[in-house]
Every structure is written in structure tokens, then in C-alpha cells.
Amino acid sequence: MPIIVSLFTGLIFGLGLILSGMSNPAKVLGFLDLAGRWDPSLALVMAGAIAVGVLAFALARRRALSVLGLEMRLPTGGPIDARLMGGSAMFGVGWGIAGFCPGPALVALGMGEPKAAAFVAAMLAGMAIFELLERGELRTATDAA
């Protein structure tokens, strides 16, 4: 049952990204172009998403189990450090260059957008590099060289 609910939740989320324009890189880049022809429409989408998220997390904190009876696993706050700031900056730069972030890129990929395929490939490569760095495999290889 949780898999079916996850599938439908993902489909609804993807539909929301399409309807809001978040899967359209031109719309996203228009939102990010503060010095040019700024398109503020995505600010409303983000404000709505933040409001829903705040409400959902407030309700989730009061529960031990989800509606489906699964254990609630909420994120815990961590320190704001150089890794977080650097990762956030890389995310923002990538978003500004490509006009995609991970969720909308997957939706656009499913819609057959060629730019999304390149973005998703680069995203997966970045995730793999991160994993190798975290495990120390790249550090060992570069230290030996």
C-alpha cells in the first residue's frame, strides 16, 4: 500500500510542478532574472509550497506514525556550516544555469525534454562523486597520486 500511495503522491506532485511552470526552465530562469525581465509568478508557487510544508511538518511532529501506519522520520536540524553553505551555493548556481532543480528536472525528463536529460545525468554524476568523497574513496586515490 505505501508504494501505491507514494506513486500517486509523486504523480500529483509532478502534475503540480507542470501546472505551476516549475518544470519549464525558461519560466524558472525568468523568475531568477532579477536584473532583467523578472517573472514573479513562481514566488507565489514557492510561498504556497512553504505554507503547505510548514503546516505538514507541524502536524507530523505531533504524530508517532504516519496515516499509513509507518514510523515518522522527520529531518533533524543540523549546524549551518561550510559544507551546507557550499552545497547550497552550488545548488543555486546550478539552478540558475540550467533552470532546473532535481524534482522538476525529473518531471521534464519524463516529458522528453532533452535539456533535462543532460541535467539529470550531471546530477547523478555529482551524487556519485559526493558518495565517493564521503566514503573516502576519492580522497585515498588523490592522496596516493
pLDDT at 141: 54
Number of domains in the chain: 1
pLDDT > 90 in the chain, percent: 40
* Model confidence at 125: pLDDT above 90: yes
Q: Which three cell numbers stand for residue 126?
A: 555529482
**Burial class, 44, CB count within 10 angstroms (exposed 0-12 / middle 13-18 / buried 19+):** exposed
Tell me how far apart the alpha carbons of residues 143 and 56 are, in angstroms, rounded to a whole number: 45
pTM for the full predicted model: 0.74
Average pLDDT over residues 76-97: 89
Q: Which range marks the domain in which residue 71 is found? A: 2-144
pLDDT at 139: 59
Per-residue model confidence as pLDDT tens digits over 110-120:
999 999 999 99
Q: Could you tell me if 105 and 123 are in contact, meaning their C-beta atoms sit under 8 angstroms apart?
A: yes
Strand, coil or helix: 65 = strand
Handedness of CA 8, 48, 127, 77 (dihedral sign): negative
Per-residue model confidence as pLDDT tens digits over 42-73:
888 889 999 999 999 999 999 999 888 888 88
Nearest to 2 by CA among 74, 75, 71, 104: 71
